[in-house]
Structure 1
Amino acid sequence: MSSIKEVFKNTSWLLISQIITSIFGFVWIVLLARYLGVSDFGTMNFAISFTTIMSIFTDLGLNIYTTRDLSRYPNLPQKYIGNIIPLKGLFSLITFIITIIILLIMDSTLLTIEVVLIFTMHMIFLNVGNLFNGVFQAYGKLKFQAIGIILNSSLVLIGTLLLIYFNLGLAFVALTYMIGSLFTLNYLYSKIRTKIIVPKLQFDFNFWKNSVKTAIPFGITTVFTTIYFMIDTVMLSFMIGNVAVGIYSSAYKVINVFITLYTVYNFVVFPLMSKFYKNSENLLKISYEKSVKYLLIMMLPIAIGITIYSSDVATLIFGNDYILAGDVLRILIWNVLFVMINGASTNLLNSSNNEVAVTKINGIACLINVLFNFVLIYYLSYIGASIATVITGIIICILMNYIITRGRFKPDMSLIYDIIKISISGLILTIILLFTHLNLLIAIPVAIIIYIIGLILTKSLDSTDAAILKEIIGRK
C-alpha cells in the first residue's frame, strides 16, 4: 500500500498542473480557433503536427531510456544528464536543417515556412525540457515538472491574449508557443541544478553509442506513435486542404484535454512499474490490471456522453463555424479510450524490457494507419481520418493484449469480469441518455449519478479497490 500512497502523492502535483493546463489550453485554443478562422487554424495545426513528427528525431527514445535507467540506478545522474544534453543538441541541429530542406522541397509559402520553423524551435526546447522532466520522474520530484507545466501554459495563455488584442497574426501564435517553452526550459534547468545535480557536459562517445543503441526501440516506437497521431493532419492538409484540417483539428483539441490528463498517469506509473519489475513482478502485474480497470471506469462515461452530445459540444466550444467538427468528435473520442488502455499495456511491456515488442506493434499500426488514412481521407475527408485513427487504436489494443496474454503477466480472469461489469454500467447510461433527450448541461450531473449507481449495482469495485480508496484518503 505504501507504493499506492507514493503514486497518489506524486499524482496530486501533476494532476493539479494538468487540470490548470487543460483549462488554460482549452481557453487559448478556443480563442485561437475563433481568432484565426478555420483556414489559418488549420495552418497552425499543420505546423504543430509537422514539427511534432520532426521533433522525434531530436530524441530517438533517450527521454524514456533515461527515466527508466535512473529509476533503477539513481546514483548516475551526472553520467546520463551530462551526456544526453549534448547528444540532443546534435540531433536538434540535424533535425532543424532537415526541416528547412523539406519545406523548400515542398515549395511552401513564406508564412508557412516562418511558422513551421518557429514551431520547430518550440519543439526542440520542449524536448530538452522533457529530458529534465524524465529525471524528475525517476527521482519522484514531480513537483518541479508540475510547476514547469503550469508556467508554460500560463505564458502561452498570456501570449495568446496579447496577440489577439494587438491583432498580431499567425506568426506570433508560433512565437508565443516558442517563448513559453524557452522560459519553461530555463526553469527546469535551474531546478535540475539545485535539486538533482549541476550538469557538466560530457562527450563519452561509448556512452552515446550504447545509449542510442538501447534507446532506439523506444525511439522507433515514438516515431510510429507520433506518425500515428499526427500524420492524419499532415495528409489532410496535402490531400484536402487547411479548412478540413481546421475542422478535424478542432475536434482533436477537445480529446487532447482528456489525453493530457491521462499523461499524469503515465508520468507517475512508468517509473514505478520499472521499479516493480526489478523488485516485485507481482506488484507490476497488479498495477497493470488496476490501471486498465480505473482508466476504463474513468473514460467510458465520457466517451458515451460526448458521442451523444458531440455537435452540442463542438458548437458550444468553437462556435457555429465548427459545427461539422461534431461528426469528427463523435468518432475520435473513442480513440481516447484505446489510447489509455494501450498506454497501460505499453508501460507494462516497456518496464519489463519488452520494448522491442512495443516497437513492432506500433510499426505495424503506423503502416496500417497511413494506408487507411490514404484511402479513407480520399473518399471521406476528415471523417475518414477519424475512422482510420480509431481502427488503428483497436489494432494496437488487440496486438498488445496478444503479447501480454502469452507472457508471465497475463491478467487474471477477474479483470475480464470487471470490464464486462463496467461495460454494462456504460450500456445502462447510454440507453437512459438516448431515451431521455436531456439538455447537455442537465445531462452531465444526471449521467454521473446514473453511472455511479450502475457501478454499484454491477459491483464493479471490489474489496481491493475499497482498500486502495481508503489508503488514498488516509483512513486506517
Structure 2
Amino acid sequence: MWPILKQTTWLFCAQIFTRIISFFYTIYLARTLGISDFGLFTVAMVYFSLGSSISDFGFNRFFIREVARDSKKMEELLFNVSFLRLMATTGMFLFFAAILYLFDPDRVRTNLILIGVMAVIPQSVGQTLDAVFVALRRLQVSAVSLLIVSLTTATVGFVLVTKGYGPFGAITALLIGQVAYLLVLGLFLEKWHAKIISSIKLSVLKKITLGALPYGILGVMGLLYFRLDTILLSYMRGNYETGIYGAAYRFLEAIVFIPIAYSSALFPVLSKLHDGHIDQVKKLYISSVKLMGILGLLVVLGYILILPWLIRYFLPGYIEALNIVIILSLAIPFMFLHVPAVQVLFSTDKYLKWVIGLSFITLGFNLVANLLFIPVYGLYAAAWITTLSEALSFLVFFIFVKIKILDKT
C-alpha cells in the first residue's frame, strides 16, 4: 500500500497545482467569454476528450500492463503503440471533419471542435511516452509534464483570449499545450536514453490491437458515459444551458484528479498481484475502498460548504450553476468508491468481457435517461442523471467484485 501512496503523492501534488491553475483559468474564461461562447468552448473540449479516448482505445492501458510485467517489452511496444495511435487519430480527425461539415450548420462550433480534435494528435504520442514512466513507476515525470502542459495552456490561453480571439484563442491554447506536453516527455525519454524508434511488425500490431480492444471499448464507453449529457445539451438546448452546465461540471472535473492519480499508481501493482497473489488483491481492494470512501465524503462536504460562495463571488453571471453544482457533488462519493473495483477488473484479462457487458448496462441507462429527460428538463436532468448513473455504476461493479473475487476463498 505504501509504494502506491508514495507514487500517488507525485501525481497528487502535481494535480493540485494543475487544478488550481485550471480553476482560475476556467473562471477567467467563463467571465471573459460569456455564457454562450463558454458553452461553445465546453462542447469543443468534450470532443477533445472523446477524441483522446478514441485515439487511445486501450493501447496505453495494455502497454502499461505488459511493461509492468516485463520491462524488456518496452522498446518494441512503444513504437508500435505510437504508430497505432497516430493512425487512429488521423482517421478520427477526418471522420469528424466530414460528419460535422455535412450535418452541423453551426460553422463556428464545427471549427472549434476540429481544432480541439487536432490537439489530440500531439497528445496521443505524448500519452504513449508518458505510459513508459507510469509502467516503470516513475510518476514524478508524469507529474512534471502535467504541470508544464497546464501552465502552457493557461498562459497562452490568457494571452490569446485577452487579445480578443475568444473561444478560438482558448481552444488554440489547448493545441499548443499538447505540443508542449509531447516535447517535454520526448526530452525526458532522450535524457533517459530510451530507444523510441523501432520496427513496425504486423504480429506486434495485431497483438496490441487484440489486447487493447477490450480496454478501448471500455474507454470510449466511459467517455460517452461522462460526456454524453454535454453533447446532447448542446444540440438539444443550445449554447446557453451548455455554458451553465459546463461551468458546474468543471468543478466536478476539478476533483477527478484524486481517483485518477490513485488509479495510475494502483493499476501496475494490481497487474502483478493478479498472478498468484489474489489474497493481496482482496486486501488492497478493501483498503482502497476505505480510503476512497473517506476522501469522497470529505470532498463532498468541502464542495457543499465552499463552492456556493466561490460561484457567487467569482462567477455572479453563472448563479444558475449553483444548484447544478450541489446536485453533481452528490455523485462524488460514488465516483471515488468506483475506482478500486474498476482497477481490480482492468488489471487482468479474466473479467474484461464481463466489464464490457456491465458497462453497456450503465451506459444504456445514461443514454436513455438523457434522451428522455434533457429535451424537457435540460441541465437539471443532465445533473441528476449523472449522479444516478454514478450510483448505479458503483453498485453494479461492487456486487460483481464481491461475487467474483471477495467471496471466493
Pair 1:265 & 2:267 matched: no
Q: Which one of 16, 41, 52 corresponds to residue 38 of structure 2?
A: 41
Pair 1:393 & 2:366 matched: no
Give the aligned residue type for 2:246.
S
Give the aligned residue type for 1:117.
L
Equivalent residue for 1:18? 15
Work out whether residues 115 and 171 of structure 2, in 8 Å CA contact, stay in contact via their aligned partners in 1: yes
SS in 2 for 1:9: helix
Equivalent residue for 1:80? 77
Work out whether residues 39 and 246 of structure 1, in 8 Å CA contact, stay in contact via their aligned partners in 2: yes
Work out whether residues 259 and 339 of structure 2, in 8 Å CA contact, stay in contact via their aligned partners in 1: no
- The structure with the largest alpha-carbon Rg is 1
Cα drift, residue 172 of structure 1: 1.2
Q: Which one of 329, 333, 337 corresponds to residue 333 of structure 1?
A: 329
Percent identity of equivalent pairs: 24
Pair 1:321 & 2:326 matched: no
Q: Which one of 137, 143, 152 corresponds to residue 146 of structure 1?
A: 143
SS in 2 for 1:406: helix
Paired with 2:9 and 2:322, the residues of 1 have a C-alpha distance of 32
SS in 1 for 2:313: helix
Give the aligned residue type for 2:348.
S
Work out whether residues 161 and 167 of structure 2, in 8 Å CA contact, stay in contact via their aligned partners in 1: no
> What are the superposed Cα offsets for residues 412-461 of structure 1, whole Å, 9 maximum, x if unpaired?
9xxxxxxxxxxxxxxxxxxxxxxxxxxxxxxxxxxxxxxxxxxxxxxxxx
Q: Which one of 325, 330, 346 corresponds to residue 342 of structure 2?
A: 346
CA RMSD of aligned residues (A): 1.8
Give the aligned residue type for 2:129.
F
Q: 1:165 to 1:50 in 2, by over 3 A?
A: closer
Give the aligned residue type for 2:331.
N
Work out whether residues 86 and 201 of structure 1, in 8 Å CA contact, stay in contact via their aligned partners in 2: no
Cα drift, residue 405 of structure 1: 1.4
Equivalent residue for 2:87? 90
Work out whether residues 155 and 180 of structure 1, in 8 Å CA contact, stay in contact via their aligned partners in 2: yes
Q: Which one of 178, 183, 205 corresponds to residue 181 of structure 1?
A: 178
SS in 2 for 1:24: helix
Work out whether residues 46 and 237 of structure 1, in 8 Å CA contact, stay in contact via their aligned partners in 2: yes
Q: 1:284 to 1:161 in 2, by over 3 A?
A: same
Paired with 1:57 and 1:144, the residues of 2 have a C-alpha distance of 24
SS in 2 for 1:203: coil
SS in 1 for 2:405: coil
Cα drift, residue 246 of structure 1: 0.6
Equivalent residue for 2:206? 209
Q: Where do 1:49-448 residues align within 5 Å?
A: 49-195=46-192, 197-278=194-275, 280-307=277-304, 311-317=308-314, 319-353=315-349, 354-410=351-407
Cα drift, residue 255 of structure 1: 1.2
Give the aligned residue type for 1:334.
L
Identify unmatched segments of 5+ residues in structure 2.
Answer: none
Give the aligned residue type for 1:335.
A
Equivalent residue for 1:434? none
SS in 1 for 2:199: coil
Paired with 1:152 and 1:91, the residues of 2 have a C-alpha distance of 23
Paired with 1:335 and 1:46, the residues of 2 have a C-alpha distance of 22
Cα drift, residue 336 of structure 1: 2.2
Q: 1:309 to 1:374 in 2, by over 3 A?
A: farther
Cα drift, residue 47 of structure 1: 0.9
Equivalent residue for 1:463? none
Work out whether residues 67 and 137 of structure 1, in 8 Å CA contact, stay in contact via their aligned partners in 2: yes
Paired with 2:165 and 2:331, the residues of 1 have a C-alpha distance of 35
Paired with 2:154 and 2:265, the residues of 1 have a C-alpha distance of 26
Paired with 1:278 and 1:196, the residues of 2 have a C-alpha distance of 31
Paired with 2:26 and 2:306, the residues of 1 have a C-alpha distance of 20
Give the aligned residue type for 1:168.
Y
Query: Higher mean Cα deviation, 306-315 or 14-23?
Result: 306-315
What is the TM-score normalised by the length of structure 2? 0.95
Q: 1:157 to 1:396 in 2, by over 3 A?
A: same
Paired with 1:142 and 1:405, the residues of 2 have a C-alpha distance of 30
Cα drift, residue 206 of structure 1: 1.6
Cα drift, residue 279 of structure 1: 5.2
Cα drift, residue 154 of structure 1: 0.6
Paired with 2:405 and 2:49, the residues of 1 have a C-alpha distance of 35
Work out whether residues 310 and 327 of structure 1, in 8 Å CA contact, stay in contact via their aligned partners in 2: no
Paired with 1:19 and 1:196, the residues of 2 have a C-alpha distance of 30
> What are the superposed Cα offsets for residues 206-248 of structure 1, whole Å, 9 maximum, x if unpaired?
2111211111110111111000111100000011011001110
Cα drift, residue 310 of structure 1: 5.2
SS in 2 for 1:76: helix
Work out whether residues 54 and 99 of structure 1, in 8 Å CA contact, stay in contact via their aligned partners in 2: no
SS in 1 for 2:287: helix
What is the TM-score normalised by the length of structure 1? 0.82
Q: Relative contact order (alpha carbons < 8 A, sep ≥ 6): 1 or 2 greater?
A: 2
Cα drift, residue 308 of structure 1: 5.8
> What are the superposed Cα offsets for residues 114-136 of structure 1, whole Å, 9 maximum, x if unpaired?
21111112123223222222221
SS in 2 for 1:278: coil
Identify unmatched segments of 5+ residues in structure 1.
Answer: 413-476
Q: 1:330 to 1:80 in 2, by over 3 A?
A: same
Give the aligned residue type for 2:337.
I
Equivalent residue for 1:470? none
